Structure 1
Amino acid sequence: MRLKDKIAVIIGAGQGPGTGMGNGRATAIRFAQEGATVLCADRDLKSAEETVAWVAKEAKGAGKAAALEADVMTEASMQAMVKHAADTYGRIDVLHYNVGVSLGGGDASPTEITVEAFDRVVAINLRGMVLAAKHALPVMRKQQSGVILGISSVAAWEVYPYVTYKATKAAMVAYIQQLAIHNAEHGVRANVILPGLMDTPMAVDTRARHAGKTRDEIAAARDAKVPLRRKMGTAWDVANAALFLASDEANFITGVSLPVDGGALVNVG
């Protein structure tokens, strides 16, 4: 019960089409299993409601969840989401931004990127996080406590072929550091997770569709690149890292970038 009586807002708690579990859904389940009340926010309300059903099944009453439609593309939606959480639960203990897109948003190489794709990926991967934190921070500062978590990627630091995903994930690291130092006096912690090659619908199924290959082919190629056991991580690895950073066990940790990557970044340099 590491998050007993905590209120957590997870943005991107649903997931896209594909096989298996996404990071947001797994994190919602783990938070609820540890006692949290989780507001599952997603632009796809049906998918968020499916996450709530998963929570009810897997948390076994330890925590609970509710679904909310929210779109990271608009500030009004982020503001309304924060207001709903604060009005409904009286506080916000954890804000977890789990939204991201690359190929699915039209991301491309430096010579092929379009203005439209660049703007779309920036808005989803970074601007939404900035706007969500903008409206959650006054609530957390008033409480004199709170945790803000972002999902970056090892792509921020390693070789990666697509322009906007790399740029936004690197910016996420810098932004979290800024949040951490400017809100430390208010008791608000901010940290970022850098997943490596993960076996999730967004990472594997999206690439399979774009490459015209089977899911198994994409998964095997990704597995072969992972130093640790030659096997990708899963959404549960990301969820457990988020759980630790959200909990009081990480009470003295702020401004850090935590790789969850099976040793991938050891190879950098």
Structure 2
Amino acid sequence: MRLKDKIAVIIGAGQSPGSGVGNGRATVLRFAQEGARILAVDRSLESAEETCRIAKSEYGAVEIEPYAADVRKEADLAAAIAEADRRWGRIDILHYNVGVSVSGNDASATEITEEAFDFITQVNLRGCVMACKHVLPIMRRQESGVILTVSSVSAWQRYPWVAYKATKAAMVAYTKQLAIENAQYGIRANTLLPGLLDTPMAVDTRATAFGKPREQVAAERDARVPLRSRMGTAWDVANAALFLASDEAGFITGVELPVDGGALVNIVR
């Protein structure tokens, strides 16, 4: 019960269609298992409701509510944050777990369109900035809080498409800024850098976009992972998020934590 009585707003609590479980849903389920009270926010209310159903029936959720919000709209994010504050009177954890690349028509530097770049930036970066804008006054008021963001090893590794790369690199810098500017208020901010994972968004989306069997995409990704030549799962990300959200990480802020099976060990910085 490492999150007993903690109030968490998890943005991106549903998941993409496909096999297995995604990062957002896995994180909701782990937080529920550890005693958190959760506002499960997603663009798809149906997907958020399914996450809540699983959390209640299989993971012993104490209290969890679905909430629909489009991260491209500041008003939606402000309303979600306000709803959590109204319902519980505080917010202990904000976890921003939303991202898009292939499905947002990301492309190389010579092929990227304005529409794709703007859309991916709105979802991956601007939505996070706006969610934090509205949660920070609450956390400053209570003089405590944890903000978790999800970047990617693509922030540092070679990656062919520009919008995802740029936004995930920006997420690292933005989270570090959050950490140092809000340390005086007792607020911690850290970012996760997932590597190659076997999730619906990562594998099924690529299989569909590139016209390949899912098994082929998964095998190609497995072969690129140093640790046991096997991708990680959403549970690896969820467990890392749980640690950083818990009091066990009470003296950790401003870090970028790779969850990547050793991928970034190959990068000299």
Q: Give your verdict on TM over 0.5.
A: yes
Match for residue 121 of structure 1? 120
CA–CA distance in structure 2, aligned partners of residues 116 and 70 of structure 1:
21
Within-5 A mapping of 1:103-118: 103-118=102-117
CA–CA distance in structure 2, aligned partners of residues 85 and 250 of structure 1:
23
User: Is 2:246 the counterpart of 1:230?
Assistant: no
CA–CA distance in structure 2, aligned partners of residues 214 and 32 of structure 1:
34
Match for residue 12 of structure 1? 12
Within-5 A mapping of 1:182-201: 182-201=181-200
Match for residue 133 of structure 1? 132
Work out the percentage of aligned pairs sharing the same amino acid. Answer: 67
Q: CA deviation at 1:198?
A: 0.4
Q: CA deviation at 1:177?
A: 0.3
Q: CA deviation at 1:65?
A: 1.3
CA–CA distance in structure 1, aligned partners of residues 178 and 162 of structure 2:
24
Q: Secondary structure at the match of 1:5?
A: coil
Within-5 A mapping of 1:54-203: 54-61=54-61, 63-203=62-202
Q: Secondary structure at the match of 1:190?
A: strand
Alignment RMSD (CA, Å): 0.6
CA–CA distance in structure 2, aligned partners of residues 233 and 102 of structure 1:
19
| CA offset digits 1:21-76 (Å, max 9, x no partner) | 00000000000100001110001000000000110122225x33110001100010
TM-score (norm 1): 0.99
Match for residue 29 of structure 1? 29
One-letter amino acid matched to 2:2 = R
Contact 1:55 1:64 in 2 (8 A): no
One-letter amino acid matched to 1:227 = P
Match for residue 3 of structure 2? 3
Q: Secondary structure at the match of 1:86?
A: helix
Structure 2's unaligned 5+ residue stretches are: none
| CA offset digits 1:115-160 (Å, max 9, x no partner) | 0000000000000000000000000000000000000000000000
CA–CA distance in structure 1, aligned partners of residues 87 and 113 of structure 2:
41
One-letter amino acid matched to 1:176 = T
TM-score (norm 2): 0.99
Q: Secondary structure at the match of 1:137?
A: helix
CA–CA distance in structure 1, aligned partners of residues 186 and 79 of structure 2:
24
One-letter amino acid matched to 2:58 = E
- What is the aligned residue count? 268
Q: Secondary structure at the match of 1:148?
A: strand
Q: Secondary structure at the match of 1:206?
A: helix
CA–CA distance in structure 2, aligned partners of residues 18 and 111 of structure 1:
31
Contact 1:121 1:164 in 2 (8 A): yes
CA–CA distance in structure 2, aligned partners of residues 73 and 248 of structure 1:
31
CA–CA distance in structure 1, aligned partners of residues 40 and 22 of structure 2:
13
Match for residue 247 of structure 1? 246
Q: CA deviation at 1:267?
A: 1.1
Match for residue 39 of structure 1? 39
